Structure 1
């Protein structure tokens, strides 16, 4: 009798789950396909059957984030004025960051990110930055967006905040993002 074979989707999921754990422990550069195979108890060829490279694994991990950012942009751009677009984009980003908290813990601050992030992710992130900065952004607007991105990313990834539940983190990040994004407008 033939040995049952698990569906490719299940095997891909196992590789991704294992890679997330190893990337969190060793970083992207510090993780090899051989390490993933060893942790899974399979051959390196079995991992290659699912993914051609470590970069492809990372890209697949980041795909849900890419899809979420694309959706946030579409929703925000459908609104009539810039303030409403920015408010929806901020709220959507906070929700997305919390939803992908485990991935943020893996990728935020990893020096390999600029090399492995798919071009599409960089493109939508740039679109989002433009949406948040608004028309003709001045330096304070650009700085506020940079602080918002960095602060939110670091907060959801910070292991010292792992005990903070998602609802409280969500409320606090929304409040802080609102303050950050409008702080420079209140000065003028």
Structure 2
């Protein structure tokens, strides 16, 4: 059972942190608004005052990550060569995977997948990253290599067995690994 969240910060932020703790323990689908309220020691309407639904909480949790992905895409698109664009994107993906390693597990939850896929802006970001990494007219090998790099990077960052590795070392190892995986596309 998760421990109660300390009453600090804004009410909205407290709801997000309580929800994240419960999502980590029970999954998104296994967490109710009542569970979040109970963890915070407030009424369920108090939680609903901050967020209309569990999906809205999920979106609020992942929104900063998508905002950062958009920034990485803009920087990458400003690079003069496709290889420069790919290099910036790979570095950016690794940076975000490490920065958001506590949240990355959410993307393996079906409830989160549905909430994210319902957002056109989130899907556009995903498509933009894929387009940069794939390049024009990607063959099967290119598509598999980029999917492997993306999935492997985010999975490793979120792996609870790797929490003993500090962010700096994780970043260094993931970046070297991602670059090796992407070598055939260089």
Q: TM-score scaled to structure 1, two decimals? A: 0.90
Q: Number of paired residues?
A: 178
Q: Find out whether 1:70 has 2:70 as its counterpart.
A: yes
What CA distance in whole angstroms lies between the structure 1 residues aligned with 2:80 and 2:143? 22
Using the TM superposition, give the Cα deviation of residue 58 of structure 1 relative to its aligned residue in structure 2, in angstroms.
0.3
Match of 1:3 in 2: none
Runs of 4+ in 1 over 2 A off after TM superposition: none
* Structure 1 pair 90–184 and aligned structure 2 pair: CA distance change class (3 A): closer
Q: After TM superposition, give the deviation of residue 183 of structure 1 in Å.
A: 2.9
Runs of at least 5 residues in structure 1 that lack an aligned partner in the other structure = 1-5
**Structure of larger gyration radius:** 1
What does residue 111 of structure 2 align with?
Answer: 112
Hey, what does 1:146 align to over in structure 2?
A: 147
How many Å separate the matches in 1 of 2:41 and 2:158?
Answer: 29
Q: How far apart are residue 93 of structure 1 and its match?
A: 0.8
Paired residues of 1:11 and 1:50 also in contact (CA < 8 A): yes
Q: Name the structure 2 match of 1:15.
A: 15
1:140-173, Cα deviation, whole Å (9 max, x unpaired): 1100111011101110110111101111111111
For 2:65 and 2:185, the matched residues in 1 are separated by: 29
CA distance in 2: counterparts of 1:135 and 1:119, whole angstroms = 22
Distance 1:57 1:109 in 2: 16
* Worse-matched range after superposition: 120-129 or 90-99: 120-129
TM-score in terms of structure 2 length: 0.91
> In 2, are the aligned partners of 1:76 and 1:85 still within 8 Å (CA)?
yes
Match of 2:53 in 1: 53
In the alignment, the residues of structure 1 paired with residue 137 and residue 56 of structure 2 have an alpha-carbon distance, to the nearest angstrom, of 37
Distance 1:184 1:11 in 2: 47
| Worse-matched range after superposition: 153-162 or 175-184 | 175-184
d(CA) in 2 for partners of 1:167 and 1:120? 30
State the distance in 2 between where 1:113 and 1:54 align: 10
Question: 2:43 corresponds to which residue?
Answer: 43
Does the aligned pair in 2 maintain the 1:108–1:154 contact within 8 Å?
A: no
User: Unaligned regions of 5+ residues in structure 2, if any?
Assistant: 1-6
